[in-house]
């Protein structure tokens, strides 16, 4: 019976192609994830604020909370005034 054998071969080929296609998609998804993964920590580091040190007392504080006077960062106006004197 050659015809059922041919159908079996075609079915097997389709089955193998489906597996190959599924593997390809799975591998591509993993590659995409591994490519996207290094970007995520960069985005997080961009979100975390830069820490600066008070030029007077040496305390570390977020850049947005600091005072920039004469290219020096200060934790409060008092320390900026004291350093400026
Ligand atoms: Zn200070």
Q: What is the pLDDT of residue 85?
A: 74
How confident is the model at residue 37, as a pLDDT? 66
The tens digit of pLDDT for each residue in 16-74 reads 999 999 999 999 999 888 876 666 665 555 567 899 999 999 999 999 999 999 999 99
Residue 10 CA to ligand 1 center (angstroms) comes to: 78
Q: Give start and end residues of each alpha helix (H) in 37-68.
A: 39-47
Q: Ligand 1 center to residue 55 CA distance, Å? A: 7
Q: 2-36 and 39-47 are packed helices; what angle lies between their axes, rounded to 10 degrees? A: 30
CA of 81 to the centre of ligand 1 (A): 10
Chain-centroid distance of CA 19 in Å reads 32
pTM of the entire predicted model: 0.45
60 Cα: distance to centroid of ligand 1 (angstroms):
9
57: CA distance to ligand 1 center in Å? 4
Confidence of residue 4 (pLDDT cuts 50, 70, 90): confident
pLDDT surpassing 80 at residue 78: yes
**pLDDT in the model for residue 34:** 81
How many Å lie between the centroid of ligand 1 and the Cα of residue 72?
A: 11
According to the model, what pLDDT value does residue 84 have? 74
């Amino acid at each position: 019976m050659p015809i059922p054998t041919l159908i079996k071969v075609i079915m097997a080929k389709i089955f193998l192609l489906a597996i190959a296609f599924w593997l390809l998609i799975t591998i591509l998804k993993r590659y995409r994830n591994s490519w996207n993964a290094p970007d995520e920590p960069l985005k997080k580091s961009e979100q975390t604020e830069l820490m600066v040190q008070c030029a007077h007392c040496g305390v570390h504080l977020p850049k947005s909370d600091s005072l920039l006077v004469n290219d020096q960062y200060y934790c409060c106006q008092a320390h900026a005034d004291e350093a400026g004197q």
